[in-house]
Amino acid sequence: MPVIEVRNLRKLYRAKPAVADVSFTVAKGEIFGILGPNGAGKTTTVECVTGLRRPDSGTVRVLGLDPRRDGRRLREKVGVQLQQCELPGRLTVREALELYASFYDDPADPARLIRRWGLTEKRDTPFGKLSGGQKQRLSIALALVGGPDIVVLDELTTGLDPQARRAAWKMIEEIREDGVTIILVTHFLDEAERLCDRIAVVSDGRIAALDSPRGLVARSGNGMSLRFRTPVPVPDGLLTGLPEVREVRRRGDQIAVAGGDDVVQAVVGTLTRHQIRLHDLMVERPTLEDAFVALTGRTFED
């Protein structure tokens, strides 16, 4: 049984749909990604799922509970890290965790969370003096202080430098290892591809596709491509005659070949049999961005 079920969710702002007929389920223990550009409706969707907003129509069930009707019971089971969350500047890390722990009947130990999320040296530091990465660590700890079954992470790594982002990715994987189900809201393609078991691609308030990262990439229809140079000329027919090859392009002494999933093996095998060596070989596969363009007809930046 899924731990989250969303059916025909719809939310309007000034008669304009921010979320339009969205449906999905989330299985226990998975990292479920909601991916889309800013303004696509991602945050509104999770706010309806967590009970922070009331949908105009549709049904939402989280652990069998209605987020609006059973909000108090659900808050004991779901932790939320919001996209924009500020604490009083003078509140220390330790005070914040102890305060949040007081909201629950059976909270996690704040001292243990401080140690686990690398905040020991900052436990008496005011929130206003924490770095961006330290604030994100505290935000995760606050989302976990109630010992939730599900945690929602909304744009967790926005504004972080590359090193801090990768540290946050490791934290997310550690949360899942504890058996916690994760909804990861992000507009970072590499983040979704790296972490998520399944991804809902959201565009203009609708789900354009829902699949595993590999499944979404396969649906782009772009196949594989490779670029290389050779010390001797390669006859055009040698490559264009291969059934796996869709296109051959030349730029100076560089050859670019595009085709299906087996095109790399076919090209390399053919040239090897003809004793033609490849230099500067680069292999490219479709990305989530290619999949987004193919599924929505728009670039991700648009």
Q: For residue 285, which of 210, 209, 229, 220 has the smallest C-alpha distance?
A: 220
197 closest CA partner among 32, 35, 34: 32
* pLDDT tens string 161-220: 888 888 889 989 988 998 999 999 988 888 999 999 999 999 889 999 999 998 888 877
Q: Is the pLDDT of residue 300 over 70?
A: no
- Kindly provide the residue ranges of all beta strands, DSSP E only, lying in the chain, ordered along the sequence: 4-13, 16-26, 31-35, 57-62, 78-81, 150-154, 181-186, 198-203, 206-211, 224-229, 245-251, 254-259, 279-284
The pair of three-digit structure tokens given for residue 51, joined into one six-digit string: 């009970």
Q: Is the pTM of this model over 0.75?
A: yes
Interatomic CA distance for residues 61 and 63, integer angstroms:
6
**In terms of DSSP bridges, do strands 181-186 and 198-203 run parallel, antiparallel, or are they unpaired?**
unpaired
Structure tokens at 44: 């509104």
Task: Output the pLDDT for position 83.
Answer: 67
Task: Catalogue all structural domains in the chain, each as residue range(s) with its CATH number.
Answer: 2-218 (3.40.50.300), 223-285 (3.30.70.100)
Determine the pLDDT at residue 161.
Answer: 81
Could you tell me what percent of the chain has a pLDDT over 70? 97
Per-residue pLDDT tens over the stretch 208-245: 999 999 888 887 767 788 999 999 999 879 999 999 99
